Amino acid sequence: MIVAEAALLDRVAWLVLDVAIAAIGTWLARRYALRRELVDQPGERRSHQVPTPRGGGIGIVVSLLLSLGWLAVVHPAHAAMLLSTATGVALVAGIGWIDDHRPLSPWPRLLVQAVAALLLAWGIHSEGGRAVTLVLAFVAAMALANVWNFMDGIDGLAASQALLAAAAYGLLAGPGPVGCLAFGLAAACLGFLPFNLPRARIFLGDVGSGTLGYALAALAAWLALGEGNARGVLLLLPLSAFLIDASLTLAARAAGGQRWWLPHTEHAYQYWARRGSHRNVTLAYAGWTTLACLGMLTGRTVAPAFIIPGMLVVGLAGGGAWTCLRRTSRGREDTKE
């Protein structure tokens, strides 16, 4: 009993440290950004109304890398996975940090992200993952690093979504390195959010948004090793708000002949934010994701035959909400004009 209580206290202390490191790192990043004039200006392709410094996600990156290093020491049997993930995080964060200082074309970023995704796949291989799991890990890393970047457009949204998803993955994982890493990521997001809510004093920047997506891909890929094919699909639920909005928006832009990879304000959350407050949109997305996380945690008790139909229902509901939000918001904008 005493040993268990001591272990619990150690975990709590480490989570408090994660929060503190991220918070201090964000505060320092804000001072640095203001001094270097790393400031996002309002514009037609942005959702904010006042100049705001960027790059605050570096605090989350530092906290996450320290967590990965500590876990590699404490769990040497999983060191290959943890260190490959840490290297991938450093690569994604590094190219994002450069992009925050001097905008890059998409291709160098995609190349570096691809190397990081290969490192994650190699880490999953070291954990005994099958070929299909390695491919899915690579795709997840590439997709989520960019989805989180696309969806990081209003106050508190990207970090709060990552916090909820990471916490749910931690509850699903239980004791062990995956659970510790997931809760560590959630704690780091918690340390950042006071600087991003209720009104942003600093943005994540590419250094933070890409890292959050990559880290969530690593957690989902690692958790998928212990799940069957049907139950593994449930791991998409905590990510569903962002996946639905990003994928449908990019598909609509591509179908319309637009250059979908360029910055824009056509996501459903952006339309909604223009006719309401950032806070309400962030809270609504958090409500969806909270329910989705509960669905993932309770879905493990459901027969596999019901999981895929249930996921289709979630997808249809999300697609319907996306369509309504865009049509309603665009209609009101047209009326104002």
- In the chain, the percentage of residues whose pLDDT exceeds 70 is 91
How many Cβ atoms sit within 10 Å of the Cβ of residue 337? 5
Is the confidence at residue 181, as pLDDT, over 90?
yes
Is the confidence at residue 3, as pLDDT, over 80?
no
SS3 42: coil
Is the confidence at residue 186, as pLDDT, over 60?
yes
- Please state the domain count of the chain: 1
pLDDT tens digits, 50-68: 888 999 999 999 999 999 9
pLDDT at residue 200, as a whole number: 87
Confidence of residue 337 (pLDDT cuts 50, 70, 90): very low
* Amino acid identity at 214: Y
How many Å apart are CA 84 and CA 276, to the nearest integer?
A: 42
pLDDT tens digits, 301-335: 888 888 889 999 999 999 999 999 888 766 555 44
Listed range (37-41, 69-73, 126-130, 220-224) with the worst mean pLDDT: 37-41
pTM comes to 0.93
HSE, CB side, 13 Å, CA atoms: give it for residue 278: 18
Domain hosting 181: range is: 2-336
Confidence of residue 47 (pLDDT cuts 50, 70, 90): low
pLDDT at residue 116, as a whole number: 98
pLDDT tens digits, 232-248: 899 999 999 999 999 99
pLDDT at residue 222, as a whole number: 95
Which candidate, 84, 81, 96, 86, places its Cα nearest to that of 64?
86
How many Å apart are CA 23 and CA 17, to the nearest integer?
A: 10
